[in-house]
């Protein structure tokens, strides 16, 4: 089990960028594939991007080419660089293992609005 703390969200205009961070404590971070998930109002939480322990990555179609997931195992941290944001990206973003093994953190709100 690990504790997850997400940060980096905010209010931005369409086309702008954000970088999310997720710090994990209390577990062996490097052995797990990690994912970023999002949950829009009234919708289920879904996987946005994932990165394996070997660095292999996965992106959902709607973010491919705009988002980049990365990890720093020495810092127990996973990042999500979000470029060319659009209003459909508005959601609360969470990180967790992929598949989900740990309790969810509080998430970080991303709002894209003009």
* φ/ψ of residue 9, rounded to 5: -70, 175
Cβ contacts of 59 within 8 Å, gap of 6 or more: 48, 49, 67, 69
Query: What pLDDT, on the 0 to 100 scale, is given for residue 1?
Result: 78
Query: What pLDDT, on the 0 to 100 scale, is given for residue 5?
Result: 96
**Residues 2-41: pLDDT tens digits?**
899 999 999 999 999 999 999 998 667 788 999 999 999 8
CA angle 22, 33, 90 (to 5 degrees): 45
Whether the pLDDT of residue 44 is over 90: the answer is yes
Whether the pLDDT of residue 70 is over 90: the answer is yes
Query: What pLDDT, on the 0 to 100 scale, is given for residue 29?
Result: 78
**Residues 82-99: pLDDT tens digits?**
999 999 999 999 999 999
């Amino acid at each position: 089990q690990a504790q997850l703390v997400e940060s980096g969200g905010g209010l931005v205009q369409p086309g702008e960028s954000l970088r999310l961070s997720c710090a994990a404590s209390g577990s062996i971070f490097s052995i797990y594939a990690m994912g970023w998930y999002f949950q829009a109002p009234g919708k289920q939480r879904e996987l946005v991007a994932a990165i394996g322990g070997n660095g292999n990555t996965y992106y959902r179609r709607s973010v491919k080419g705009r988002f980049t997931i990365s990890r720093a195992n020495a810092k127990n941290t996973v990042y999500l660089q979000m470029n060319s944001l659009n209003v459909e990206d508005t959601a609360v973003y969470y990180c967790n293992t992929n598949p989900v093994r740990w309790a969810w953190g509080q998430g970080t709100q991303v709002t894209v609005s003009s």
